[in-house]
Amino acid sequence: MKKSMVSVLLAGTMAVSSLGMTAMAAETEAAAPASKKSSEAAPDWDDYNEKIAQIYAETDLAKREALMHEAEDELMATWAVIPIYYYNDIYMLKPDCEGLYSNLFGFKYFAYMNAPGKVLNANLASEPDHLDPALNSSVDGACLAILSFSGLFAYDAEGQLTPELAAEMPEISEDGLTYTFKLREGLTWSDGEKLDAEDLVYSWNRLADPNTAADYSYLCDSMNLVRNDDGTLGIEASEDGLTFTCHLTRPCAYFLDLCAFPAFFPVPEQSVTKADPNGENPGAWALESGFVTSGPMTCTAWKHNESMTYEKNPKYWNADKVTLDSINFMLSADDTAIYNAYNDGSLQFIDTVPNDEIAEVIENDDFFIVPNLGTYYVAFNVNSPLFEGKTPEQAAAMREAFSLLIDRQYIVDAVGQTGQQPAGAFIPAGMADGNGGVFMENDDDYTYPVTWDFEGEESVGYYDPTATGAGNVEEAIALLEEAGYEFTEDGMLSDSTPITVEYLTNDGTGHVAIAQSIQQDLAVVGINMEIKSEEWNVFLNDRKNGQFDFAREGWLADYNDPINMLEMWLTDSGNNDAQFGR
């Protein structure tokens, strides 16, 4: 899930879902999405798409892990995705506010907090891109989704899955292919209308429908749901609406994790179709305050690009446990204005701190650092005119040179400042491997190309991200020469073969500081990097549509399995910002 704020600290290892993946004979593999080479310099992506389809189909856990390593190798070999550091999260919270909890995936649960007068004034981010949970792909949007909507499951304060709309843990068939959920009785939407299993059938099929254009539609295949001939999913509701049944093609160890993921939260069909009868604007029903919800709170006021108000939803099934009456969100990405509002008491919670203030507040009792499971990285658009006239090998060599020149340790020390680990691979340190271990560890079946020492501990990756200096510059120059660039005797790009690249980022002092650091690193060999900063929702859509050369990126895992970090690069994924296979 895309992350809007600069965050810090290495994520710890999260326990794998308690549901094991049962070994069984592999069925026919899911069809890989079609791809095409849209520029001569772009890598061929058919093999990668097929590899992900194999991973979906593989039931031997050791073989599945091996395939995921192969997929990461293929991704990293393009050098279109350049990891910078592994995420954690920072926020500030006034001492008289208690009970906030979050998880490794960046979800923050506000509704069960205690605050003076039962009112919380907070800043989470700027104007949200989507409040429809099926269309959202950002972390701030997910935090708002869990305020407004409910899924079959949720995460509790200990990070464990707990039934939400489901009345209890599901009944799972012996072969792991059928999940039967009993829903709580008396569930309603915020307008008083009945909420039942038919709403789940509608909403999950809506997520899978290409016409919805949901970035996360591929998760329906990731969780191995049956696809009917008409494209609908193998799901059904009982006549009384209290039973929801899911049919899988093969077992899925993280099925319940996705039942707690906002993209799978039910939405009110009547509201959706009324606002968009022609199906041309799927998110139209949730563009203003007052939209129908099912969660702890409802959005009662929304001044776009300024503020939002959420109030307790008396129709929520667990309303008696909701401790806040309302939350007032300031919508802004101006770190300084947000920090000043916190200091003058206007805000009690802020999710970002100006980069030059972190050293001052890091030891304060109201400054919090919490684990995340994800990677801050930068990415190239493989179809960018920057690579015009290059072969795929030359384009990859160019991108690898950029990677070698970036001083990650400086970014961690001078910008992040709170103990992130420089990243030498895309899949984050601490992520489970789906086979009882940790993915980013060398073993008998797989050894990463590089091993290095990070703060006294052995780390692995595709390069040593802490390495800087003349050796890296020399190697970067050699790679650029391999790509057809010429250099002067003093190691600078020749005027006959210049490189100018535009770097796209969203607003925020931390993001801009990282951009400036990369700009200085690339200038060492004469690369001219121009920085372009955009508002958050504009930035999201420009990246998604490939309107960039080089951009800042961040991804927090949606669940604790490497496939989540790999499937986002499928050709037909809505999160494939690098434009692989397009």
In angstroms, the CA 268 to CA 286 distance is: 11
**Residue 121 is part of which domain span?**
95-286
Assess whether 258 and 125 both reside in one domain: yes
Q: Based on the domain organization, do 162 and 261 belong to the same domain?
A: yes
Query: For residue 189, what is the domain's CATH number?
Result: 3.90.76.10
Residue 24 lies in a domain: no
Which residues face 457 on adjacent strands? Answer: 454
| 446 within some domain | yes
The pLDDT > 90 percentage for the chain reads 88
- The reported pLDDT for the residue numbered 31 is 59
Q: Among 270, 286, 302, which residue terminates a domain?
A: 286
Tokens (6 digits) for 568: 């986002």
Residue 19 has what pLDDT?
A: 31
Which residues are bridge partners to 560 per DSSP?
none
Q: Is residue 319 part of a domain?
A: no
Nearest one of 402, 395, 381 to 524, comparing CA atoms: 402
* pLDDT of the residue at 30: 52
Query: pLDDT tens digits, residue range 73-99?
Result: 999 999 999 999 999 999 999 999 999
Instruction: Answer yes or no: do 388 and 537 share one domain.
Output: yes
The separation between CA 395 and the C-alpha centre of its own chain, rounded to angstroms, equals: 26
Q: Is the pLDDT reported for residue 29 higher than 60?
A: no
* 139 within domain boundaries: yes
Residues 149-175: pLDDT tens digits? 999 999 999 999 999 999 999 999 999
In this structure, are 75 and 138 located in the same domain? no
User: 121 pLDDT exceeds 50?
Assistant: yes
What's the whole-number mean pLDDT along residues 44-53?
Answer: 97
Q: Are residues 269 and 395 in the same domain?
A: no
467 CB-contact burial (10 Å; exposed 0-12 / middle 13-18 / buried 19+)? middle
Mean pLDDT of the 242-259 span: 96
Domain end position, chosen among 251, 286, 321: 286
Model confidence pLDDT, tens digit, residues 409-420: 999 999 988 889
Nearest partner of 200 among 251, 148, 263, 252, judged by Cα: 263
Q: What is the pLDDT of residue 470?
A: 82
Find the CATH number of the domain harbouring 523: 3.10.105.10
**Angle value at C-alpha 137, between 234 and 235, nearest 5 degrees:** 10
Residue 28 has pLDDT above 80, yes or no: no
DSSP H or E run through 516: helix 509-523
Confidence of residue 118 (pLDDT cuts 50, 70, 90): very high
497-521: average pLDDT: 96
Average pLDDT over residues 378-396: 97
User: Are 405 and 278 in a shared domain?
Assistant: no
Residue 76 lies in a domain: yes
* DSSP string over 413-471: IIII-S-PEEPSSSSPTT-B-SSSSBSSS--SS---SEEEEETTEEEEESS-TT--SHH
Mean pLDDT calculated for residue range 11-15: 33
| DSSP-H helix ranges across 223-357 | 255-259, 269-275, 335-343
Residue 173 lies in a domain: yes
Is residue 540 assigned to a domain? Answer: yes
pLDDT at 10 over 90: no
CA distances from 54 to 30, 59, 312 (A): 8, 10, 45
What is the band of 453 on the pLDDT scale with cuts at 50, 70, 90? confident
pLDDT at residue 230 tops 50: yes
Give 317: exposed, middle or buried? Use CB within 10 Å, 0-12, 13-18, 19+.
buried
Do both 420 and 565 map to the same domain? yes
Among the listed ranges 133-137, 316-320, 441-445, 532-536, which one has the minimum average pLDDT value?
441-445
One-letter amino acid for residue 303 of the chain = K
Split at pLDDT 50, 70, 90, the class of 39 is confident
- Which of the four pLDDT bands, split at 50, 70 and 90, describes residue 455? confident
pLDDT digits (tens, 9 = 90+) for 418-438: 889 999 999 999 999 999 999
Q: How far is it, in rounded angstroms, from Cα 570 to Cα 468? A: 33
How large is the angle between the packed helices 392-405 and 470-482, nearest 10 degrees? 160
First to last CA, the chain: 21
- Contact (Cβ atoms closer than 8 angstroms) between residue 75 and residue 426: yes
Residue 37 pLDDT: 63
Burial of 182 (0-12, 13-18, 19+ CB in 10 A): middle
Q: State pLDDT tens for residues 277-313.
A: 998 999 999 999 999 999 999 999 999 999 999 999 9
Helical pair 335-343 and 509-523, crossing angle rounded to 10 deg:
140
User: According to the model, what pLDDT value does residue 34 have?
Assistant: 67
Q: How many domains in the chain? A: 2
Task: Give me the pLDDT at residue 1, please.
Answer: 84
Question: Looking at per-residue confidence, does 455 or 411 come out higher?
Answer: 411
Report the C-alpha gap between 86 and 356 in whole angstroms. 21
Give the relative orientation of helices 46-57 and 61-78 as an angle to the nearest 10 degrees: 160
3-state secondary structure of 111: coil
Q: Which phi and psi angles does 155 have, rounded to 5°? A: -105, 140
Residues found in the chain: 582
Pairing of the two strands 307-312 and 326-330: antiparallel
Q: What is the mean pLDDT of the chain?
A: 92
Question: Is the pLDDT score of 275 beyond 70?
Answer: yes
In a domain, 350, yes or no: no
pLDDT in tens, 171-214: 999 999 999 999 999 999 999 999 999 999 999 999 999 999 99
Closest CA to 94 of 331, 308, 401, 347: 347
Rounded to two decimals, the pTM is 0.90
Last residue of a domain, one of 256, 286, 316: 286
112 & 203 share domain:
yes
Q: Note whether 130 and 176 are same-domain residues.
A: yes
DSSP notation for 465-494: TT--SHHHHHHHHHHHHHTT--B-TTS-B-
Token couple for 111: 């509704």
Residue 26 in this model has a pLDDT that exceeds 50: no
